[in-house]
Structure 1
């Protein structure tokens, strides 16, 4: 994906968050399937990964940089789900929108030539482009779980 496509995908994500405001608090906090997360938990999960990316990834995505491996996914995701229970679905949507808009603002400032410079997360070779292409796939996976009926 090129920079413009990635930014468009972020805009689509923010628009999707706006669409989710049509879900009331009960639907927003009801798991989409038995034993699965609610929309509130899913959106908080995405928002917390956005926060992590803003704080722990984006400042260090420089050519040759060696970033620490990802935190334990299960622990991180469990904390995100627990945080969703501490606030309303409406509050989670607002938080998620703020986090994603901050990512968009930072990405807009990065020259396209920087998008293909290699850095490492653990032993994995990445670029800004590959990181955010994976990011978009992660978004799509969760958007499909909450598909509005």
Structure 2
């Protein structure tokens, strides 16, 4: 099979597996976070050459499930008001959070639940408490309930 046929086959597989070519998804992240492709690769936990091969269709898939989970986490983060507004600090914080994440994919966990449900909860929390109360509550819960504490911290973040 020649290279052109391989690329076309891989892009078709990406559409089937990921909903669209990975190059399109990655380019949106590069633009939304205003980072280089190499920087994004570092955040995702993949080498820059490997990311380039996946984007161009020379490779069909992202083999590491944690890398795919981080990609999805970033895609969902784009929709948060802080990042969507172009807030440089929010973008930087989101990239660091994803870079430092240790997602694991098992039958019981999906490490990509930063999405619409989180935004609904954050909006509701902001309606009933001010930023200082939310971040204070996060500090109190941090050691025993870190996931809940992180949600409170995000709700208490100034946008």
Structure with bigger gyration radius: 2
Higher relative contact order (CA 8 A, sep 6+): 1
TM-score (norm 2): 0.26
TM-score (norm 1): 0.27
Structure with bigger strand share is 1
